Structure 1
Amino acid sequence: MHTTVADLLGPGGGPCLDVCCGTGAHAGVPAGLGWTPIGVDLSGGQLRHAAERLPVSRAHAAALPIADASLPAAMCVLSSTDVPDYPAVLREVARVLRPGGRFVHVGVHPCFVGAFADWSQRPRIVVDERYADRSRSFDSWYTGGVRVRAGAWHVPLADLLNATVTAGLRLVRVTEAGPDGIPDLLGFLAVREP
């Protein structure tokens, strides 16, 4: 997954906002590419760990404490299912990016990972009618996973891509990765339109 983030973000300079940074586990990726990672997350507990890896601020991703058009880059890694309104997060990211600024999204694949997807017979995956359910779910075929405890909001693929474009971001590149030929990650690079 770090390779996917690095390939999409590419080398650069200046601040790169890690939206929903959690413990800051991904901060080394932009730092290794020449960016200066900074993080924002709502969880004070997570930020206590993140503060050892990057400068952080406690805030909601849909209300970033950052000036308009002030950042050259931002990323959101494995967090789109952790917020109830990811399109609002995308609008905030577009607001804080400079024209031409880069945004990298890497998340669980919205077509193959969620309460609607049964991976118990890998490499065969069964997707059911819950794919269209955008509400928070605690269901999972794997009862030992984090989603049965924390839940997840599903953002179908069309919703994710349409929300990105509607926010004023232009898709540049899309990538998928995963085991057994079935992607469990979806990533994309988008830039803020002028």
Structure 2
Amino acid sequence: LAAAWLLNLLLLLSRRFSPRERTGLNLPWLFMGLVALTGAWLAFVKLHGRADHGPQLMLFAMILVWVADSGAYFAGRAFGRRKLAPHISPGKTVEGVLGALAGGAVAGTVLIWLKWLPLSPVVVVLLCVGTVLVSVGGDLWESFLKRERGIKDSGNILPGHGGVLDRIDAQLASAPFFVGRLIALGVLS
């Protein structure tokens, strides 16, 4: 699932897929949404179940994405010039992604300081930066789905926030990646 999110990011940035406004029930998208929700849930359950620092690492994975989102917003507002994927989300910029990656590096530094992972500092920062990059793919995917539906917000429960899906889109992609990398690195089994 983590590799699928990486592939998703590359496909969205390649411009091979452009949103086409659709109506009605789309069973493949519904199935993919179910897989994304299930994958993130299973990743968080796996991370939370780790004997030492599991719940803290789960919260860290969530905070990592929130810090990245904030870094992207502020860097994009201050320096954003080059559009990342204007065919999907005209407001996202390359400079915003760089701000997100910087936020991920800072969060990785905090994780190193906390010593919750038995990994070298370079590996921890690369893990965090990679997770942030995948979270951008989740954010773009949700924007793609909204464009396909011809809507600006995924709901109105959280006014001014684009809906509940906007609050979890990056988590859906980043959680399986974060946990998958920890498994690959031998930290989780």
TM-score (norm 1): 0.31
Q: Which has the higher contact order (CA 8 A, sep 6+)?
A: 2
Question: Which structure has more strand as a fraction of its residues?
Answer: 1
Q: Which has the higher helix share?
A: 2
Give the structure-2-normalised TM-score: 0.31
